[in-house]
Chains A and B, each alone.
Chain A
Amino acid sequence: MSERQLNRRGFIAAGAVALSLGGTVGPARAATPLKVGLLLPLSGSLAREGQSCKRAADVTPALLAELGMPVQLMIADTETNIDTARTRAEKLIAEGAQVLIGAFESAQTLAVAQVCEQRGVPLIINIAAAPNITEQGFKTVFRNFPTAPRLVGEGLSLMKDLFKETGVTPSKAVFMNNNDTFGTAMAGAVGKIFPTLDMPFPIVETISYDGAARDLAVEVGKAKATGADLLILVAHGEDSIKIIREMVKQRFEPKAVVSPGSPGMYEVQFYKTLGKYADYSMTNLPWINPKSKMSQALLAAFAKAYPDALFEMNVGYTFEAVLIAADAAKRAGSTDPKALLDVLPSTNITDHVMIGGAIAFDAKGQNNNTRSATIQNYGGKPRVVLPVEAAEAKPVFPAPGWQQRG
């Protein structure tokens, strides 16, 4: 019974999306499917994230077909390796891919961008934050993802929105970061941007730690000793679990644990391992708009295919990247790469799945309308609490103490 209801809802939502896109659902044209080469790190150190993107790719063609935008996905594994990403991009183009999407990580994406530029094939970036990708004058690169400085800037600014919304401001913060490439880059960005934002609290100490350390007791002890009442955390899956576990044991109870844009605290394993202690942690990052009709249609299809997987940012951005390609093919009336390149700069998709304005690109191929949200864990899943217009619930700040959780 429930499955039938889900299908019906999904169908209705997809229909609504089709109408909102301005397309004519009616008798869909028997268009030639656009061949989309999707490059993802399906194995290697970023395999978890790559697999998350792939789950989105698995449900996307059917949804877009219902909207009269047929696509044929050709998925390739970059193995989280720059050289492999480059060779797989060459191979996909040789096999007939008319547009490439990828590649989750900046260095790999840059390698793919160079291939696309040489071959005159559009590259739509699903996820990759390094600013230089869109600063090199590429004519074939279009990025629907915020740059790292924007990500960090919005991540910090949203904290001010949180304090304003709740009427509570912390007095001082401690910053903890994993010392891997991502964590170090984020720490650098925070160090650079924080002083420019007129934040209402100082960062009293920065604690950089080895994410592969056997335990993080001393790191948490050191953070506690600072007396900070806000923990800003840049972690991954495993280390964020270790840190919260130690915080509970050491009774380190800041007003909140907030990430300015790192994974970890909204992942399935975090909830499974920490249970009630996973609640109230916050992450500021681009997120799926729960109120968008298109995201509801995507969620219905996703939940049916992957009932236990998390519906999160990677899913949303990968879907949107394919949507951008399909929309371009529809507007161009052609699947030829040159025709796609002609229409991609004039992209203007107002109804999509991520929080933010219309998907549109500036002269450098960068979408500047992306917007981060604050998600807060509650009851074993993330909920959007800011911005207010997309919020599913009100933010809880300060968070209840560890011993006060039922």
Chain B
Amino acid sequence: MSIDLINQVITGLLTGLVYSLLALGLSVIFGVVRVVNFAHGEMTALAMYGAWALATYLDLDPLVGMPLIAVVMFVCGYGLQRGLVDSFVSKPEHMQFILMVTLAIIMVNASLLAFGPDAHGIQVSYGFDTYEIGPLLIDKVRLLSAAAALTISLLLMGFFRLTLMGKAIRACADNLVGARVIGLDVKRLYAVTFGIGTACVGAAGALLSLLIDVMPATGPELTLLSFIIVIVGGLGSMTGALLGGMLIGVSEVLAGYFLMPSMKSMFSFAILILVLVLRPQGLLGARR
């Protein structure tokens, strides 16, 4: 394997880790609340605009501003679940679909009105830096973003496995009736879960703003990407989302390198179709 290719695989892996965090939010919400968030990418785009605004007007590095964006997104997600989504949880899936798609359309058009159609990118002082390790060149921005994304993903997994609230949320996901019988406040736990999912979106958006420019069309594109990752990894599986993100990140690089760069996205869809045919529950998803 040539050094150029190894460099590209590392790039894909690092980018994939940020994608993983993005998809994790979708997986958490679906895994517990059982609502498919079709506005996931649009929420990410809003977080990216937030990171851009903080960087432009307050000179705040997205890595520093990320916790603030995550907290704001948590509050928004919590409020959205309690105020709107909750009343749709028990309704037919097509009604949930229409609700979330409507929200997505509103978000795209609101960002178009507020920020215009042009791309907004963030310039950081280390934006062009690379770490040189022997013959390897590792992009500093990607490395920092990936490290942050991996840390948040692991913390989130720890939260669901080790904390009382995390266990209560998992109980709601595993057995809703049982959770109600033992007196868990399901509505509040759903809202917290939705908030955690959108906080992931906020953090991922802040990190992504370092890697790609944001424009209104970015939202739907990221929604699609998140769905591909989550379906490949396994719906509702957190480790599946992590694996799916890295797999898509690396596969795009390999497709671009060995085939045609313009076929990168097509290759992701090919993997998606392959997984749906051979293992419909996803690589790490449980068969239902």
Contacts and interface: CB of A to CB of B under 8 A. Distances in A.
Contacts of A221: 4, 7-8, 11, 257
A213 interface: yes
B76 to A, nearest CB: 24
A15 to B, nearest CB: 40
A250 B256 contact: no
Contacts of B213: 238
B260 A273 contact: no
Nearest to A210: B262
Contacts of B15: 215, 217
Nearest to A275: B123
B121 A249 contact: no
B264 A277 contact: no
A217 B11 contact: yes
A215 B130 CA distance: 16
B128 A210 contact: no
A397 interface: no
Interface in A237-268: 238, 241, 245, 248-251
B252 interface: yes
Contacts of A209: 261-262
B282 to A, nearest CB: 23
Interface in B230-278: 252-253, 256-257, 260-262, 264-265
B119 A238 contact: yes
Nearest to B7: A221
Contact of A218 (B129, B211, B261): B261
Nearest to A403: B128
A330 interface: no
Contact of B4 (A216, A225, A248): A225
Contacts of A241: 121
Contacts of B260: 208
Describe A's contact surface by its main secondary structure.
helix
Nearest to B141: A249
Interface string B125-150: 00111100000010100000000000
Nearest to B14: A217
B128 A249 contact: yes
A250 B128 contact: no
B212 interface: yes
B2 interface: yes
Interface string B1-33: 010110110011001000000000000000000
B128 A218 contact: no
A164 interface: no
Given A245-B127, A250-B7, A218 B257 contact: yes
Contact of B137 (A210, A213, A250, A273): A250
A144 to B, nearest CB: 30
B128 A213 contact: no
A344 B181 CA distance: 89
A219 interface: yes
A214 B256 CA distance: 13
B265 A213 contact: yes
B261 A249 contact: no
B137 A219 contact: no
A248 B4 CA distance: 15
A233 to B, nearest CB: 14
Contact of A213 (B5, B121, B130, B264): B264
Contact of A207 (B121, B253, B261): B261
Nearest to B121: A273
Contact of A215 (B2, B4, B212): B212
Given A215-B15, A217-B11, A222 B127 contact: no
Given A207-B261, A214-B212, A215-B211, A222 B256 contact: yes
A222 B257 contact: yes
Nearest to A402: B128
Contact of B2 (A219, A225, A249): A225
Interface in A263-307: 273, 277
Contact of B264 (A218, A248, A251, A402): A218
A249 B130 contact: yes
Contacts of A249: 128-130, 137, 139
A209 B12 CA distance: 17
Interface string B174-208: 00000000000000000000000000000000000
Nearest to B253: A218
Nearest to B130: A249
A81 interface: no
Contacts of A250: 7, 130, 137
A179 interface: yes
A381 interface: no
Interface in B210-225: 211-213, 221
A251 B257 CA distance: 18
A213 B262 CA distance: 8
B261 A222 contact: yes
Contact of A217 (B8, B127, B265): B8
A219 B130 contact: no
Question: Which of A218, A222, A249, A402 has most chain B Cβ within 10 Å?
Answer: A218
Contacts of B262: 179, 208-210, 213
24 contacts: A179-B262, A208-B262, A210-B261, A210-B262, A210-B264, A213-B264, A214-B221, A216-B261, A217-B8, A217-B253, A218-B12, A218-B261, A221-B8, A222-B257, A238-B119, A238-B213, A245-B127, A248-B128, A249-B129, A250-B7, A250-B137, A251-B130, A251-B137, A277-B128
Given A214-B211, A215-B15, 13 more contacts: A208-B261, A210-B265, A213-B261, A218-B8, A218-B252, A218-B256, A219-B256, A224-B4, A238-B213, A249-B128, A249-B129, A250-B7, A402-B128
Interface of B: 2, 4-5, 7-8, 11-12, 15, 119, 121, 123, 127-130, 137, 139, 211-213, 221, 252-253, 256-257, 260-262, 264-265
